Structure 1
Amino acid sequence: MEARQTRSFDKGQMTGITWQCDGILLGHAVSRFTELSGFHSKSANVDVVRMHFGLKGDYLFTYDQLGKTFDLVGGHHNIMYSREFEMTVQAKTLEIETFGIQFPKEVFIQFTQNASDTLKRFSEAIILGKSAILTDSWGTIDSPIQQVIQQIIHCKYSESLKKLFLLSKSIELLVLCADACEASERKTETFIKTKSDKEKIIAVRDLINDRVHCPPNLSEIAQHVGLNEYKLKKGFKETFNNTIFGYLTDQRLQLAKQYLLDTQQTAAEISTQLGYATPQHFNNAFKKKFGVTPFSVRNNP
């Protein structure tokens, strides 16, 4: 059900972990390079639909069966299908982190053939055996998607419960991914129009993730990425459907929940560690987010 793997390639190495449940394959991988380079991968006779999530890092991604090359900035996702699979990745950063889910063709069709119009059209192409991508616009990994992926990576369940958990989270990610890709297709970008600005907004997200315990203020963030505060605030909201403060709050509370489940720290210790003014302030924010108190999570995981 769970397997770890390491793959060496020219000027780099990939380490990863995969999980299987009911024919669905989930995987998380981190590729680190000694200098900017790339790698090639292919598989034959694997009739699956692939959900691809780029969590961190920039790269060029050439998908031979689609006849397309994508220039991707960390924090993106899409759904693709082809009977065979051959790709070349050219790294533009020294570290790339990805997550993926492979659905057997029949399972994916069963889930989606009566869903939204976009998914129906995608499923029809799959039924005909045509190589296809859900939308030409890649979706952005927002807080809900990021949180589900982290829940999968840090899942503590075992055996049958883990299998059920992974199945439910796979379907949840499918819904979130399809909805976000469709929204991206309709969206008119007003504030973030260039790839350079998009990279800066992704850098803001990464900075917040790295400093959840001691978050930077708005002027520090703006100076760090080289955007004025107005464009920073508007661009972040446009990209992630959340304010900078709202995103930070979500990340802090998700991390707090993880600490409650995975450590023996008290709620008061966690609130201090994450920078809350008082345990009561933390308690109120946690209950507003999850509908239960920290104490309830600790005693009823």
Structure 2
Amino acid sequence: MEEKLERIIDNSIIRSTIWTFDEIKMGHAISSAEVGSTFSTGQQNSDVVRLHFGLKGDYVFTYKQLNKTYDLIGGHHNIMFSKDFDIVVQNKTAEVETFGVQFPRAVFVNFTQNATDALKRFAEAIMNDKSIMLSENWGSIDSPIQQVIQQVINCNYSGDLKKLFMLSKCIELLVLCAESYDLANKKDPFIKSKADKEKIIAVRDLINDRVTDPPNLSQISRLVGLNEYKLKRGFKETFNNTVFGYLAEQRLHLAHQYLRDTKKTAAEISYELGYATPQHFNNAFKKKFGLTPFSVRNNP
């Protein structure tokens, strides 16, 4: 079931889409409010495990059941559990975009009780009714996580096929989050300050906004105020990809979307996205997706 909602909570307007299947919920929300405004929400006896993804915007997130406050910037994720769920959010930007998955506790435990050590410890804690986050350090939304979320938001399937697709994507997000947590905890972070982390997030947003006309590294460096060495190493650490590797992936996923949703030819898409020749685009596309652009256009 898919449901579109618009709510006004404490002068914040929240527009959301909710998908429900097999007692699992996924949701995408965009909230608009004055900078510095707050809104609160609470759920009693919800008994669900939450995957939370902050896609865009900065906010302060106070979680009553954990007695903790997190100062978050766009591009983060974590997994959390508490029987009740009382939060207060203060917007630091006029718009905040989030995505979430809710697993019933028993379903989550069934998926994770024999998974990674971190997930097994988390599953044991929630079975004992402990309010907990998977990690005190919020993970970064890298390209694979971002692409799965976009696939859900832009899904064109219907009926039982859509239900199967959504189920596969929520499990994929769980796996990617757990993998991100394991990678992040194996090394001492290079980017330590919040200010530098915000600049790395700004680099990602800049690339996303200018996929068809990207600036070069020296231009990006000047725009965000980071030297090229810190920019390249910090971006690789945060998103598990180089700046231009990330750009290449974004171009190819945008090309895939164009082939599905527009009548643009492969040659037109190739030119628009900055490939040297249609053949170069064709080769890169096939290497990424295992299909030619022609196959996608004729078998969406």
Report the TM-score range of the alignment, normalised by the length of the smaller protein: over 0.9
User: Matches of residues 48-127 of structure 1 in structure 2 within 5 Å?
Assistant: 48-127=48-127
Contact persistence 2:48–2:81 (CA under 8 A): yes
Query: Could you tell me how far apart the structure 2 residues matched to 1:40 and 1:32 are?
Result: 14
Partner in structure 2 of residue 170 of structure 1? 170
TM-fit CA distance, 1:281: 1.2
For 1:289, the aligned partner's letter is K
TM-fit CA distance, 1:269: 1.3
Query: Could you tell me how far apart the structure 2 residues matched to 1:134 and 1:3 are?
Result: 29
Query: Could you tell me how far apart the structure 1 residues matched to 2:182 and 2:258 are?
Result: 34
Contact persistence 1:109–1:123 (CA under 8 A): yes
TM-fit CA distance, 1:267: 0.9
Partner in structure 2 of residue 42 of structure 1? 42
Q: Does 1:236 align with 2:235?
A: yes
Partner in structure 2 of residue 255 of structure 1? 254
SS at match of 1:186: coil
TM-fit CA distance, 1:12: 3.1
Is 70-79 or 10-19 further displaced after alignment? 10-19
User: Matches of residues 1-301 of structure 1 in structure 2 within 5 Å?
Assistant: 1-190=1-190, 192-301=191-300
Is 161-170 or 10-19 further displaced after alignment? 10-19
Q: Structure 1, residues 3-50: CA drift from partner, whole Å, max 9, x if none?
A: 011112344311110101111000000112233312101011211000
Which runs of no fewer than 5 residues in structure 2 stay unpaired?
A: none
**Moved >4 Å (runs of 4+):** none
Is 234-243 or 180-189 further displaced after alignment? 180-189
For 1:215, the aligned partner's letter is P
Is 178-187 or 245-254 further displaced after alignment? 178-187
TM-fit CA distance, 1:187: 2.7
Contact persistence 1:11–1:35 (CA under 8 A): no
Q: Structure 1, residues 166-220: CA drift from partner, whole Å, max 9, x if none?
A: 0000000000011112222233112x11000000000000000011111111111
How many residue pairs align between the two structures?
Answer: 300
Query: Could you tell me how far apart the structure 2 residues matched to 1:133 and 1:266 are?
Result: 47
Query: Could you tell me how far apart the structure 2 residues matched to 1:297 and 1:88 are?
Result: 44
TM-fit CA distance, 1:263: 1.5
For 1:86, the aligned partner's letter is D
SS at match of 2:97: strand
SS at match of 1:53: strand
Query: Could you tell me how far apart the structure 2 residues matched to 1:275 and 1:145 are?
Result: 25
Normalised by the length of structure 2, the TM-score is 0.98
For 1:300, the aligned partner's letter is N
For 2:299, the aligned partner's letter is N
> What percentage of aligned pairs have identical amino acids?
66
For 1:135, the aligned partner's letter is S
SS at match of 1:50: strand
For 2:8, the aligned partner's letter is S
For 1:251, the aligned partner's letter is Q
Query: Could you tell me how far apart the structure 2 residues matched to 1:231 and 1:204 are?
Result: 12
For 1:71, the aligned partner's letter is D
For 1:205, the aligned partner's letter is R
Normalised by the length of structure 1, the TM-score is 0.97
TM-fit CA distance, 1:58: 1.1
Query: Could you tell me how far apart the structure 2 residues matched to 1:17 and 1:165 are?
Result: 16
Query: Could you tell me how far apart the structure 2 residues matched to 1:133 and 1:230 are?
Result: 33
Contact persistence 1:48–1:83 (CA under 8 A): yes
Contact persistence 1:122–1:134 (CA under 8 A): yes
Query: Could you tell me how far apart the structure 2 residues matched to 1:217 and 1:10 are?
Result: 42
Contact persistence 1:136–1:185 (CA under 8 A): no
Q: What do you get for the CA RMSD once the two structures are aligned?
A: 1.0
Is 262-271 or 108-117 further displaced after alignment? 262-271
Contact persistence 2:43–2:84 (CA under 8 A): yes
